Structure 1
Amino acid sequence: MKITDNKNIAYTKAGMFEETRFEKIHNVIFKESKEASILVAQEIATLIREKEQQNQPCVLGLATGSSPIKVYEELVRMHKEEGLSFANVVTFNLDEYYPMDKGNIQSYFYFMHEHLFNHIDILPENVNIPNGTVSSEDLYQYCIDYEMKIKSYGGLDFQLLGIGRTGHIGFNEPGSHYNSGTRSITLDHITRVDAAPAFLGIENVPRKAITMGIGTVMGAKRIILLGWGGNKAEILKKTIEGEITSEVPATYLQNHDNTTFVIDEAAAAELTRVKTPWLVTNCVWEESLKLKAVVWLSERTEKPILKLTDKDYNNNGMSGLLTEEGTAYDLNIKMFNKLQHTITGWPGGKPNADDSNRPERASIPKKRVIIFSPHPDDDVISMGGTFDRLVEQGHEVHIAYQTSGNIAVSDEEALKFAEITQALCPDCEETQSIINFLKIKTDNDIDSVEVRQLKGLIRRSESLGATRYLGLKDENVHFLDLPFYETGTIKKNNISQADIEIMCNLIETIKPHQIYAAGDLADPHGTHKVCLDTLFEALKVLKPNTYMNDCWVWLYRGAWHEWESYQIEMAVPMSPDQVLRKRHAIFYHQSQKDGVMFQGGDSREFWVRAEDRNRLTAKKYNDLGLAEYAAIEAFKRYYF
């Protein structure tokens, strides 16, 4: 694997690249996906212009899904602001669901026009997207014709890819043959689970698709694969470091001589050079890396930290660390104490106590606290025990629900509440209008404003039930209804100044000593990330204010992932009674129980996930040699 062209050198300069014996595909890691997406768009634009100067068509293979959206946004911007023309561009999309109408908002035809084609000057006849309405009798010949049309242009000049959790590229699922061409395929269950949020339930996801083949993709002169987020980390490790196998179709790309994987830090987390860099090269042993390494070694050897030996370190590539620290004995005690000091039953700080070795300050005995919750249940799912502690210990706690969460309420649930309302108020025209709409609503219909309001009220009443149960006054519960979310569809708007101002106004009013926010970015439709980015933008605006000097920000996870042991800076133990109180608080969110629409790849209900993760965190601490607790909620501090 070598960097042999200027394109790869450009990525390497901008991102992080270090060739290792473990890696079989050139890959570059970026801190954020936005910068990486801009670079990819610039490479595509350069290719388009080069082909234009040569009076040749530029043949692009394009992908759908969340990964390439920022690339398309940047291409649109370059067209509008820099005069980038697509008049010489011919596109072939990788895939389409089957059967699927072009007008369906879940179709890839709709997606591509929504994100790219409607905003540029590409000729309509140059846009090729597999047709999901072809009859089953004509499908075989249609796929052959699609393949032949690509070949008639001399193949693909550039292919943009994403990657699925099954390792699929396009819809080439596990078992796909190396030489496969365009064809129909049955979708893997995991692929359908991942698509379920967009279709409002897995039962609505088509079971088949039309896809370009592995052979088609491999024929492209240049391939870029995009990978964003922690939920892609495991499959990217298998693809980049594993053996070539049909069970992970993306591994076939190891045989392509001009492929680059462009990934962010979260997606790269499982790569050997990121997860265990001491196995790859000599390390600069910063304190955070020391803790990470010692925790890893403890878990690998299944020994408590205090029982690790010099031999354990030397046999696992850490002799350099021992050289710095002296002996395993000294290093073990140092790292053990570091972890021990993260544990506290006083998340707001313990009054009149020495706080030099505690996560939080005792100098402000009664703190003003804002818990930001992206959806109207993330607070109790992810930090319900800590929430309970903060209220119980006398702090002024405020809950701020950043979005209405209305999109996650099923039509059936909304209809039930509308019919109850109608029974209480038979002459209410608005209620009858909602009932009529829901009874005739189709898959392509966006909820009316009235329906969205009803669904939002359902989530709001559930939230108040949970916060009252945990002893919070109603006036301390804030429903922000950030505008970016209120589209009525899965696709949300970008952050606006209005979103930031709403966040700033609440923070300015309360002047908190603590802010808790969701740092779990693996939710299947991206709301957590947008909510967190909105908070970060608000913090930038407010940072010059004196009161912000006393404000600490703690990030929680728990709905989809949890912090690794070495990342945790505050661990709040829960008693068995508090575990039950947290469970009951989650139960108030009845519309999100029993078949919740946005579960991601985890079929467990959220209360089960939360308890399992909290128990697992406690077990990890215990296995490292620390005290045994029923459950632990974990937090990482964010410095702004």
Structure 2
Amino acid sequence: MQSFTKVERAFSSKIERRHPVNIPYIIVENYPKLGLLTALRFIEWVNENPYGVISLPTGKTPESFIFWAKKILSEWDTTGGKKLREENGLLISKKPNFNNLHFVQIDEYYPVGSQQHNSFYHFVEKNYIENFGLDKSKGQFINCDMIALAEGRHFSEIFPNGIVDLNLRFREAKTSKEKLQQESIFILDEWCSNYEQKVRDLGGIGFFLGGIGPDGHIAFNTRGSDHHSTTRLTRANYETQAAAAGDLGGIEISKNRLIITIGLQTITFNPEATAIIFAAGEGKAPMVANALEEAPSNLNPASALAKLKNARFYITHGAASMLKDYKYHYFASTPWNQQKTDRAVMDLCEKINKFGEHLTIDDLKKDEYCSMIPNLDHHTVQNVINSVKQKIERGTFTFSKQRILYTGPNHDDIILGLLPHIHRLSRNETNRSHFAVMTSGADTVTNKFLIKSLEDTLNFLNADQIQMVNYPD
């Protein structure tokens, strides 16, 4: 607690810290509060470092952060604005000036036009330069249109199909076209080195804010990245390509796009840097737990921040759900109930790779959380099995004479998640079903890609190369 700032102390939870972690963390209730905390902490830092170097995230991750930062700044002198700041530890009266800050863009797809709506350069220009009143002349940006390639040409001339073959770094160019592409790749490498040097000439990044990806990446430093990595042109792994598919119009496009990203050492170059990773939802829980509780390694890129004394993780309850301290708090802080018994036993099944009916009383007694179950005996596991069956039965109960609204961000979310239930309810002619799909319209997964994936799966099954289809019991 002593190292936390006034804003951070206002959000600190009372969860007991029993286990060591690589980086201090703060847990907040939900995604909006996560955005509020990051916005307040950012403004707090700017107030103390008006000439500092900042690097802020792009994409969907920072939406709540941007919302709250704009709201706090625009309502600075209002009664509501003052109350919000005071209640959350931002105890400054004068609104900070953002005009003297230096901005460093974190990453960008390559190649992509700077004015394309899903380019990160466009995002930065719209959401940070304009909204925060930053001086663009003081920024370091990754504008693909402004990086002159071989013979001064634009990327659309050198890489007309948008595909950059990085193997040309190592093999001989066979055609005049490949020679231009090879020369251009080396120009891009030199550009990245110069970008890195410019950041270091500024003293390094003073305030870094970023999310954590599906493979644990920060910026585009994917799983396996060297903790000493610098700004570079590189290829993303599959998890990152899949996550980017929605932005770029499908996996078939994203799998061919490279990325320019600052490195892990770019982020940690300044030993006084405040580096914050924020994450929301249970989907991020494994990556958060690995970064905070496992020994720092290349497999967990965010663990590189452990060397910074001012590094932090800001996370929601969902993102914290796999942390040891959070688990202990869940089981020990409130009276025991059947839900806790269910969770403890099912977690044990996964932990020791046993089906529930094969668990022994000794297995339960040896486990930290199952051993807390009141009246633990040979009936405990069967009670959990019965509890799960009851939940399934409640979920399959057929309603009659109902009007049902199904909602989802994409049409496939509704179908993949609820199709059997929809089918059952729709067969009852007394029910009326309505569907509301709220989507951007982008095809993240095209029909062509899905068909090929199914054909590949069938071929693997026929070749007996998929083992997870036959179980001994």
Q: TM-score, normalised by structure 1?
A: 0.56
Residue 278 of structure 1, CA deviation: 8.1
The one-letter amino acid of 1:33's match is Y
Unaligned runs of 5+ in 2: 77-94, 150-183, 459-469
Asked if the contact 1:73–1:116 (Cα under 8 Å) also holds between the matched residues in 2, the reply is no
Residue 99 of structure 1, CA deviation: 2.7
Residue 316 of structure 1, CA deviation: 0.9
User: SS state of the match for residue 342, structure 1?
Assistant: helix
Residue aligning to 1:317: 368
Unaligned runs of 5+ in 1: 350-364, 410-523, 525-590, 609-618, 624-640
Asked if the contact 1:308–1:328 (Cα under 8 Å) also holds between the matched residues in 2, the reply is no
User: SS state of the match for residue 378, structure 2?
Assistant: helix
Alignment of 1:402-417 (within 5 A): 402-403=437-438, 407-408=441-442
Residue 315 of structure 1, CA deviation: 0.8
Alignment of 1:183-202 (within 5 A): 183-202=232-251
Q: Does 1:24 align with 2:22?
A: yes
Residue aligning to 2:122: 110
Q: Does 1:74 align with 2:86?
A: no
Asked if the contact 1:76–1:116 (Cα under 8 Å) also holds between the matched residues in 2, the reply is no
Q: Does 1:227 align with 2:279?
A: yes
Q: Which has the higher contact order (CA 8 A, sep 6+)?
A: 2
Residue aligning to 2:157: none
* One of 118, 123, 126 as aligned partner of 2:135: 123
Q: Does 1:169 align with 2:218?
A: yes
- Evaluate the alpha carbon distance shift between residue 333 and residue 97 of structure 1 in structure 2; reply closer, same or farther with a 3 A threshold: closer
Whole-angstrom distance in 2 between the partners of 1:183 and 1:386: 48
Whole-angstrom distance in 2 between the partners of 1:97 and 1:593: 24
Alignment of 1:453-464 (within 5 A): none
Asked if the contact 1:95–1:171 (Cα under 8 Å) also holds between the matched residues in 2, the reply is yes
Residue 100 of structure 1, CA deviation: 2.9
Residue 386 of structure 1, CA deviation: 1.9
Residue aligning to 1:382: 417
Alignment of 1:426-465 (within 5 A): none
The one-letter amino acid of 1:287's match is Q
* One of 231, 234, 248 as aligned partner of 1:182: 231
Of stretches 67-76 and 132-141 in structure 1, the one that deviates more from structure 2 is: 132-141
Alignment of 1:44-59 (within 5 A): 44-52=42-50, 57-59=51-53
Whole-angstrom distance in 1 between the partners of 2:10 and 2:251: 37
Alignment of 1:213-292 (within 5 A): 213-220=263-270, 221-274=273-326, 276-277=327-328, 284-292=335-343
Q: Does 1:339 align with 2:388?
A: yes
- Evaluate the alpha carbon distance shift between residue 154 and residue 279 of structure 1 in structure 2; reply closer, same or farther with a 3 A threshold: same
- Evaluate the alpha carbon distance shift between residue 288 and residue 408 of structure 1 in structure 2; reply closer, same or farther with a 3 A threshold: same
* One of 61, 69, 90 as aligned partner of 2:102: 90
- Evaluate the alpha carbon distance shift between residue 7 and residue 382 of structure 1 in structure 2; reply closer, same or farther with a 3 A threshold: same
- Evaluate the alpha carbon distance shift between residue 94 and residue 378 of structure 1 in structure 2; reply closer, same or farther with a 3 A threshold: closer
User: SS state of the match for residue 407, structure 1?
Assistant: coil
Q: TM-score, normalised by structure 2?
A: 0.74
User: SS state of the match for residue 122, structure 2?
Assistant: helix
- Evaluate the alpha carbon distance shift between residue 301 and residue 60 of structure 1 in structure 2; reply closer, same or farther with a 3 A threshold: closer
Asked if the contact 1:225–1:261 (Cα under 8 Å) also holds between the matched residues in 2, the reply is yes
Asked if the contact 2:129–2:135 (Cα under 8 Å) also holds between the matched residues in 1, the reply is no
CA-based RMSD of the aligned residues comes to 3.5
Whole-angstrom distance in 2 between the partners of 1:153 and 1:177: 23
Whole-angstrom distance in 2 between the partners of 1:603 and 1:249: 30
Alignment of 1:566-577 (within 5 A): none
The one-letter amino acid of 1:371's match is L
Q: Does 1:62 align with 2:111?
A: no
Tell me the alpha carbon deviations over residues 459-507 of structure 1, each in whole angstroms, 9 at most, x when there is no partner. Answer: xxxxxxxxxxxxxxxxxxxxxxxxxxxxxxxxxxxxxxxxxxxxxxxxx
- Evaluate the alpha carbon distance shift between residue 280 and residue 400 of structure 1 in structure 2; reply closer, same or farther with a 3 A threshold: closer
Residue 218 of structure 1, CA deviation: 0.8
Q: Does 1:37 align with 2:35?
A: yes
Whole-angstrom distance in 1 between the partners of 2:66 and 2:308: 24
* One of 112, 135, 144 as aligned partner of 1:132: 144
Tell me the alpha carbon deviations over residues 19-48 of structure 1, each in whole angstroms, 9 at most, x when there is no partner. Answer: 342632222222311101111111111222
Residue aligning to 2:198: 149
Whole-angstrom distance in 1 between the partners of 2:120 and 2:420: 42
Residue 260 of structure 1, CA deviation: 0.8
Residue aligning to 2:449: 595
Residue 284 of structure 1, CA deviation: 4.2
**Matched-pair identity in %:** 23
Whole-angstrom distance in 2 between the partners of 1:244 and 1:122: 35
Asked if the contact 2:200–2:269 (Cα under 8 Å) also holds between the matched residues in 1, the reply is no
Whole-angstrom distance in 2 between the partners of 1:282 and 1:603: 46
Residue 388 of structure 1, CA deviation: 2.4
Asked if the contact 2:279–2:316 (Cα under 8 Å) also holds between the matched residues in 1, the reply is yes
Tell me the alpha carbon deviations over residues 523-571 of structure 1, each in whole angstroms, 9 at most, x when there is no partner. Answer: x8xxxxxxxxxxxxxxxxxxxxxxxxxxxxxxxxxxxxxxxxxxxxxxx
Residue 256 of structure 1, CA deviation: 2.1
Asked if the contact 2:344–2:370 (Cα under 8 Å) also holds between the matched residues in 1, the reply is no
Aligned residues between the structures: 402
Of stretches 241-250 and 107-116 in structure 1, the one that deviates more from structure 2 is: 241-250
Whole-angstrom distance in 2 between the partners of 1:178 and 1:202: 28
Residue aligning to 1:207: 257
- Evaluate the alpha carbon distance shift between residue 318 and residue 199 of structure 1 in structure 2; reply closer, same or farther with a 3 A threshold: closer
User: SS state of the match for residue 263, structure 1?
Assistant: strand
Tell me the alpha carbon deviations over residues 352-384 of structure 1, each in whole angstroms, 9 at most, x when there is no partner. Answer: xxxxxxxxxxxxx73313131324454443222
